[in-house]
Amino acid sequence: MEQLWNYIRGVVASLPTSEELASQLSAALEYDAQSPMTLAGGLFLVMFLIFGVGYLAVRRVAWLRTIYVTLFSLYFYYKLSGVYLLLLIAVALSDYIIGLLVARCRRKGQSGSSWVATSVVINLAILCYFKAGTVVAELLQSIYEGGVLDIGAVVIPAGVSFFVFQSIAYVVDISRGKIEPLRRFIDYLFLLSFFPKMFLGPLVKASEFIPQIQSPRLCVSREDMGRAVMLIVGGLFKYAVIAKSLGVLFVAPAFAGEMGDGGGVAIMAILGFTLQIYCDFSGYSDLAVGVALMLGFRLPDNFNAPYKSATITEFWRRWHISLSTWLRDYLYISLGGNRRGAVRTYLNLIITMLLGGLWHGVGICFLAWGALHGVALALHKLWMRFVPWAKATGEEMHLLLRMPSTLFTFVVVAFGWLLFTAKDMAMVESVLRSIAFNTSLADFASIADKSMTALVIMAVGYVMHFLPRSVNAAVQGVVTRAGFVGQWLMVVVMIWGVMQCGAMLEAVAAEGASLPMYAAF
C-alpha cells in the first residue's frame, strides 16, 4: 500500500504547476515560425475540435456564424504567418472599399476601370514584392559584396498568392457585373480568409461562395459527411504520408546525389517528384474541401486525376482546376482570349502560362516551366486546327490512340516538373545528360537496395491515382454507410498513422542531417 501511495505522490509531483501549464498554453497559442499550423497538423485537430463545439451552437444563425468562423480563420492565419495577418486584413479592407466604389461607378453609368486598375496594381505590387523580393535582395547583395548593404531574404506569407488572386477576382467580377459588392466588411473578410482554403486553395468564385456565406441555413447530408470524411482521410494519406515520405526517403536524397548519379536514378527521381507534387497539392486541397464540406460549405474540386490526361489541354482542365480557371477568366480572356485570330490566341496562351510560371516563383526555371506549357498548349491548338482526327481530351479518343497520347502527355508534364523543381538550368542539363548517356539497369537495382520503402510508396501512389472513378465511388459509399462512429474511427486511425509516419520521417531526417532538395546531378 505504501508503494502505491509513493507512486501516486510521484505522479502528482511530476505534474506541471499552474504557471507551467499557463506558459505551455501560451506557447501553443502563439505563432511559431518553426512550426506553423496547417490542416494536417495535430494542433489544428485540437483547435478544430474546440472550434466545432462552438460552431454547432452558432451555425444556424448566419451573422453569428460568419463572425465566429471569420475570427477562427484569422487566428488560423496568425498561426500560419504571424504578423502578416495584418497584410491579409489590409488587402481585404482595400478591395472591400474599392469594390463599393466600382459598384457606385457602374450605377452612374461609368466603367470604374480606374478603381479596378488600382486594385490590380496594389495586389500585384504585394505579390511581386514577396515573390521577387528575395531575388532582388540577392542581386543587390551581390552588387555590394563588401557588406555595406545587408539585405535579408524576404519571408513569403503563407497563401499570399491565393488571397491576392481571390481579391483581384472579386473586384473584376463587380466591374463585369457578375456580382454585387458585399455590404458588410465581415462578409468579405470571411470570403478572403476562410481557413480551409487559406494556405493552398482552392480559389473560389465569389459568385458561388457568397450565397453560402449569406445562407440562413447550411445543410450537411449523410452523403456529404461521407464524402467529407473520405476526402479528409484520403487527403491526409496523400499529403502527409505519400508526399512527405517520398520527399524525405527518396526524392530529396536522389536529387542530392545520395542514391547515385546514374540516369536510372534521375528518371526515378523525376517520377518520384511528379507523384510527390501531385499528392502534396491535391492532398491538401482534398483536405480543405473535406473540412469545408463538414462545416456545410462547398469548395470546388481542385484536382481530377491529372496524369490520366491524354493532351496538355486536358491536363490543365484536371490540374489545379481553380488556378487554371482563374488564369483563363482573368488573364487569358483579358488578353483577348481566342477572339483575335489564331496567332494572337497562341500568343495569349504562351503569355498566360509564362505569367503562371512566374506566379509560382521568380526564376529562369519557373519561366521555362511556364514557357513549356504555354508552347505545348499553343501547339495542341494548332494540331487540332489542321488535323481532323485530333481531339481536345482523351475521352473523345479511341482507346488505341488514347494510351500513347496519355504516355506522351505524362512525359511532357514530368519533364516540366524537372524544370519546376530544379534550382537552375545547369541542373536540368546535368539530369538530362545523365539520362541520355549514363542509364543502366544497375541503377534501378541500386535504388531498390537503398530505398525499397520509397518505391513501394511510389507504386501505391500511382496505383491510387490511376484507379477508375467507380472505385472512388464505391469507397465513398462504404465510408457513408459506416455512420458517425465508423467515420470518426477512420479519421482517428489515419491521424494516428500520420503521426507515426511523421515521427519516423523526423528520425530519418535527423540521421541524415540535412537532405537538400536541390543539388547538381
Q: How far apart are CA 158 and CA 199, in angstroms?
A: 6
Considering only CA atoms, which of 206, 180, 196, 203 is closest in space to residue 296? 196
Span 310-324, mean pLDDT?
A: 95
Query: Could you confirm whether 360 is annotated as catalytic?
Result: yes
Looking at per-residue pLDDT, the higher value among 358 and 14 belongs to 358
pLDDT value, residue 504: 86
Distance between CA atoms of residues 288 and 88, nearest Å: 19
Nearest by Cα to 201 from 161, 243, 171: 161
Say yes or no to pLDDT of 49 above 90: no
Q: What is residue 515's predicted lDDT score, i.e. its pLDDT?
A: 40
Selection from 379, 348, 353 nearest residue 368 by Cα: 353
Average confidence (pLDDT) over 491-510: 86
Q: Catalytic: which of 360, 373, 398, 465?
A: 360
Q: Look at residue 185 in the predicted model and tell me its pLDDT.
A: 96
Cα distances (Å, whole numbers) of residue 341 to 344, 375, 383, 389: 6, 17, 16, 22
Confidence grade of residue 118 (pLDDT, cut at 50, 70, 90):
very high
What average pLDDT does range 295-322 have in this prediction?
95
Cell (9 digits) for 117 = 486598375
Contact 87, 122 (CB under 8 A): no
Crossing angle of helices 263-295 and 452-465, rounded to 10°:
50
Query: pLDDT by residue (tens digit) across 267-304?
Result: 999 999 999 999 999 999 999 999 999 999 999 999 99
Task: Take residue 513 and report the three cell numbers written for it.
Answer: 542531417
Residue 484: the pLDDT is 87
Q: What is the pLDDT of residues 415-466, one digit of tens each?
A: 999 999 998 899 999 999 999 998 888 878 888 877 888 899 999 999 999 9
pLDDT of residue 37: 78
Write the CB contacts of 13 (distance below 8 Å, at least 6 apart in sequence).
Answer: none
Which pLDDT does position 15 carry in this prediction?
A: 56
C-alpha cell at 178: 457578375
Region for 215 from its dihedrals, namely left if φ exceeds 0, alpha if ψ lies in -120 to 50, beta otherwise: beta
Cβ-contact 334, 492 below 8 angstroms: no
More confident residue, 271 or 260: 271
As a whole number of angstroms, the distance between CA 452 and CA 261 comes to 18
Torsion of CA 467, 469, 470, 474, to 10 degrees: 90
Provide mean pLDDT across the span 21-35. Answer: 66
- pLDDT of 519 over the 50 cut: no
Q: At which residue does the C-alpha cell 474511427 appear?
A: 489
pLDDT score at 143: 61
Sign of CA dihedral 308, 312, 313, 318: positive
Whether the model pTM is above 0.85: yes
- 171-221 pLDDT, tens digit per residue, is 999 999 999 999 999 999 999 999 999 888 899 999 999 999 999 888 889
Q: pLDDT higher for 155 or 59?
A: 59
Backbone angles phi, psi at 354, to 5 degrees: -60, -45
Query: Within 10 Å of residue 449's Cβ, how many Cβ atoms?
Result: 9
Residue reference for cell 459598384: 103
Q: What is the 3-state secondary structure (H, E, C) of 351-410?
A: HHHHHHHHHHCCCHHHHHHHHHHHHHHHHHHHHHHHCCCCCCCHHHCCHHHHHHHHHHHH
Give me the chain's average pLDDT, please. 87
DSSP codes of every residue in 427-465: HHHHHHHHHHHS--HHHHHHHHHH-HHHHHHHHHHHHHH
pLDDT of residue 21: 52
Angle at CA of residue 311, ends 401 and 430, nearest 5°: 110
Q: How confident is the model at residue 256 (pLDDT cuts 50, 70, 90)?
A: confident
- pLDDT at res. 369: 96
> What does DSSP assign to residue 19?
H
Query: pLDDT at residue 517 above 50?
Result: no
User: What sign for the dihedral angle of Cα 265, 270, 272, 273?
Assistant: positive
Residue 324 confidence (pLDDT): 93
**pLDDT at residue 521, as a whole number:** 32
Are 315 and 306 spatial neighbours (Cβ–Cβ below 8 Å)? yes
Dump pLDDT digits (tens) for 338-386. 888 888 999 999 999 999 998 888 889 999 999 999 999 999 999 998 8
Predicted local distance difference test score (pLDDT) of residue 516? 38
How many other C-beta atoms are found inside a 10 Å radius of the C-beta of residue 340? 12
Mean pLDDT across 46-62: 90
CB 301, CB 228: distance < 8 Å: no
How far apart are alpha carbons 247 and 365 in whole angstroms?
A: 20
Task: Give the pLDDT score at 513.
Answer: 42
pLDDT computed for residue 394 by the predictor: 86
- Contact call for residues 61 and 55 (beta carbons, < 8 A): no
